[in-house]
Amino acid sequence: MDIKENENAIIEDNDQGTKDYSELTEEEILKIKGIRAGIVEEEVEEGPVVPDTPIGKIFKKIDHFWEYYKWFAIIPTIIIIIVVIFVTTYIEENREITLDVSVMNATSILDTIAAVEQDYPAEYGIDTKQCPVRIEYNLQFPNTEADAASIDDSIVASIQKFNSMVLAGRVDVLFTNTWVVDGFSETEATTDLRELFDEAYLEEYSDRIYWYERYDGSKIPVAFYVDDTDFLGELADGEPAVITTFDTAKHKKESVRFIKWVINNCENNK
């Protein structure tokens, strides 16, 4: 008689008031008593047995640690990663910058990036690891007078970003279209080139000067045409590129040197 048959037999006998356990083992008796008490024994699947070897003991310790102490390791690790990212970002944002260059409405940018980040520093011996030349080129500012419908949310976000950069002094020089220069000159954000360059230099490159006309009819030099550089790609709408600077620029002397370098690398000046 197997265990199941013994269980049924004893249960039936119990209904008749008998309790004959003489033919059962202790294990069978305990199991049957459990059934009578309404206890359902769940079968537990045992995991793979880890061999009792040096490697097996190591795995057992790792399993034990992960089971009971994993959060004591995970949480500090996450905190350390966050702190490292924050400190790295802070150092990157606050280290001394040689020059902040922006390019707006660019259609091709790779050659410009190489010129700004590699060629210019190399010519003047600038250690870009200590004092990098930074370039921002994901900027769009369409000619709203010509095509007001071209303004969408991404363009608005780009304009707002650039405005905040100018206010924060994060734009030393800007490659862009003339209508962008007009917009910032209207609010007197651009710098009068006569404040940065001597009269002889402005006279030498007078054919490159872009003049902004004020409401009273007076004109001020606010940018240089640099559309014939060998590294600056064509801007949006095929408009000739100009380079300008702002009153809020933090690196004015370096801005002047960079603008002169760009002009010297224009095709008509080689």
Contact 125, 201 (CB under 8 A): no
Quote the pLDDT of residue 10: 47
Angle at which helices 26-36 and 3-15 cross, to 10°: 50
CATH class (in words) of the domain with range 98-269: alpha beta
First to last CA, the chain: 108
Q: 10-residue block means of pLDDT along the chain (270 residues)?
A: 49 49 66 58 52 69 78 86 80 75 88 92 90 88 65 82 91 93 93 96 95 92 92 76 94 95 82
Sign of the CA dihedral running 13, 17, 18, 19:
positive
Q: What's the pLDDT score for residue 70? A: 80
Place of tokens 């265990």: 3
- The position carrying tokens 């590129």 is 241
Domain boundaries defined on the chain: 1-16+24-44, 47-94, 98-269
Quote the pLDDT of residue 95.
63
pLDDT of residue 199: 94
What pLDDT is attached to residue 49?
Answer: 57
Contact indicator for 1, 9 with CB cutoff of 8 Å: yes
Which CA distances in Å does 171 have to 35, 57, 97, 125, 266? 82, 61, 11, 22, 22
Cβ atoms of 260 and 215 closer than 8 Å: no
At residue 258, the pLDDT reads: 96
Q: What angle do CA 201, 126, 139 make, to 5 degrees?
A: 75
The CA distance from 153 to 269, in Å, is: 41
